[in-house]
Chain A
């Protein structure tokens, strides 16, 4: 990436709520997940939904269905990014999700679930290290990893179960919107 700097979440009301409860053992994991998704969805004028609904990610679903190896899948995906002159963090995360989905042979559904899991992992990772060991927060790095694993599980379950999955770009956008809404409402099924 060319940088090793970690920028915490912006000092906005929605993220302040996340920072107030993230890593607190007395706050249910489902609530923590929902607040992260609410903050992320509201931030940057709802850019997250547009980023996730990008046609290139819809195309990645087809790549996940048809590629034989992760290397092949990533090469095809990178070629599509190059052709579109597109670069952003969500697409980077999408590349990683694609490689995992193809490696696990889980196809488009696996790609979508990994995409949302990686996204929530990114948001949690921005602030969670600051709270490890603080009073009333998780005490160890091991617990931090466990928390992120739980957050990713919720995202995966929601992505798989909430919406009827379609690869078509038009359907992909509505699918993304449905999953985001469910994640913000704390619905996993």
Chain B
């Protein structure tokens, strides 16, 4: 089991587990996001933290060889919108398992701050998920794919994606946020 503890603020008594601290060894892309889209909402901040934590844990953990190829992760992530995001954890874990073939245990913990009233998009209603990943901060080999299981969303690869917040990698987010991102970038 590879454990990561994610923190927005400094850690007073770090334990033996891997510590990821925002602004120190974890970059969420919030500043880039804000420069492109304006004020960040609390739920967008939570989603960026979840996405960047997953990405960092994945990149920081080398796969084993032969029979030890699979990894088992446990991530403890602080979120403001705890009640809204908690029901989505099984879906996130399932998607991550599907994508990486590893085991992911996401443990959310309540973080101080003002939760939002807006509902999170329900995938079963909108059926749209944004998946994107790219290789470097300069985006020379940027791959951008917007897929939808309703058949009316974005699809394909764009070479015009130069304004994407660079630290964001391999995450899924609700369609409102995806729309904001896509409208600016495409």
Contact = CB atoms under 8 A, between A and B. Distances in A.
Contacts of A126: 66
A89 B69 contact: yes
A3 B63 contact: yes
B67 interface: yes
Nearest to B72: A87
Contacts of B103: 81, 85-87
Contact of A89 (B70, B93, B100): B70
B interface: dominant SS: mixed
Contacts of B93: 82
A90 B67 contact: yes
Nearest to A86: B103
Nearest to A47: B67
Interface string A1-22: 1110001011000000000000
Contacts of A81: 97, 103
B102 to A, nearest CB: 5
Q: How large is the interface on A (under 10, 10 to 19, 20 to 34, 35 or more residues)?
A: 20 to 34
Q: How large is the interface on B (under 10, 10 to 19, 20 to 34, 35 or more residues)?
A: 20 to 34
A101 to B, nearest CB: 21
Interface string B91-128: 00110010011111100000000000000000000000
Contacts of B69: 1, 3, 89
B66 A2 contact: no
Contact of B71 (A47, A48, A82, A87): A87
Contacts of B102: 87
A2 B100 CA distance: 6
A87 B1 CA distance: 10
Nearest to B74: A85
A80 B68 CA distance: 20
Contacts of B90: 82
B65 interface: yes
B6 to A, nearest CB: 18
9 nearest interchain CB pairs? Answer: A87-B103, A87-B70, A7-B65, A85-B103, A89-B67, A85-B105, A7-B66, A88-B70, A1-B101
12 contacts: A1-B69, A1-B101, A9-B66, A10-B66, A51-B67, A81-B103, A82-B90, A85-B103, A87-B71, A89-B66, A89-B70, A92-B70
Interface of B: 63, 65-72, 74, 90, 93-94, 97, 100-105
Interface of A: 1-3, 7, 9-10, 44, 47-48, 51, 78, 81-82, 85-90, 92, 126
Given A82-B90, A89-B66, 16 more contacts: A1-B101, A2-B63, A3-B63, A44-B67, A78-B97, A82-B93, A82-B94, A85-B72, A86-B103, A87-B101, A88-B67, A89-B67, A89-B68, A90-B67, A92-B70, A126-B66
